């Protein structure tokens, strides 16, 4: 989709540190990592969020989920967190579906920065 940053990354028009790619997905490092490993797994096709993707293209959604384990594993971690901010008030800022794969030796609670922001607003941090 024109004007979508993740479509531009998938097309190779904007550079990104790509760590894997499959028939349905491209995975690349987040530009502002919130953990030692912070990789975004995105479908090649444009869908505004993971819920829309799951309805429109279940095979791509399944591939995306499988890639989360693959990416964490190739980065050296069996355990990982997978976050899908879905909708603006939930912290989604890029409206092309993506999963945040977060992993590290001591992954803190709320390592994804939007969860941290929500916690701060609630006064829980």
User: Active-site residues: which are they?
Assistant: 98
Name the minimum Å distance from CB 3 to ligand 5GP: 13
**Which one of ligand 5GP, Zn ion, none is in contact with 92 (Cβ closer than 5 to 8 A by kind)?**
ligand 5GP
User: What span, in angstroms and rounded, lies between the C-alpha atoms of 93 and 85?
Assistant: 8
**Which one of Zn ion, ligand 5GP, none is in contact with 69 (Cβ closer than 5 to 8 A by kind)?**
none
Q: Computed from CA positions of residues 91, 56, 3, 30, in that sequence, does the dihedral angle turn out positive or negative?
A: positive
Name the minimum Å distance from CB 24 to Zn ion: 14
Name the minimum Å distance from CB 6 to Zn ion: 5
- Write out the residues near Zn ion by the rule CB under 5 A: 1, 4, 6-7, 46, 96
- Write out the residues near ligand 5GP by the rule CB under 6 A: 5, 16, 28-32, 40, 85, 91-94, 114
**Which one of Zn ion, ligand 5GP, none is in contact with 55 (Cβ closer than 5 to 8 A by kind)?**
none
Q: Which residue is listed with tokens 């024109």?
A: 2
Based on its alpha-carbon atoms, the radius of gyration of the chain, rounded to whole angstroms, reads: 14
Q: In what order do the strands lie in the sheet with 18-21?
A: 18-21, 25-29, 37-43, 99-103, 81-83
Contact 43, 50 (CB under 8 A): no
């Amino acid at each position: 989709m024109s004007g979508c940053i993740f479509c531009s990354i998938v097309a190779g028009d904007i550079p990104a540190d790509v760590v894997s790619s499959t028939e349905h997905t491209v995975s690349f490092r987040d530009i502002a990592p919130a953990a030692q490993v912070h990789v975004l797994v995105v479908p090649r096709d444009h869908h505004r969020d993971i819920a829309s993707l799951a309805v429109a293209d279940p095979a791509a959604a399944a591939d995306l989920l499988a890639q989360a384990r693959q990416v964490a594993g190739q980065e050296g971690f069996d355990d990982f967190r997978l976050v899908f901010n879905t909708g603006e008030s939930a912290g989604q800022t890029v409206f092309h579906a993506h999963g945040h794969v977060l992993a590290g030796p001591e992954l803190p609670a709320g390592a994804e920065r939007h969860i941290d922001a929500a916690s701060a607003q609630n006064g829980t941090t």
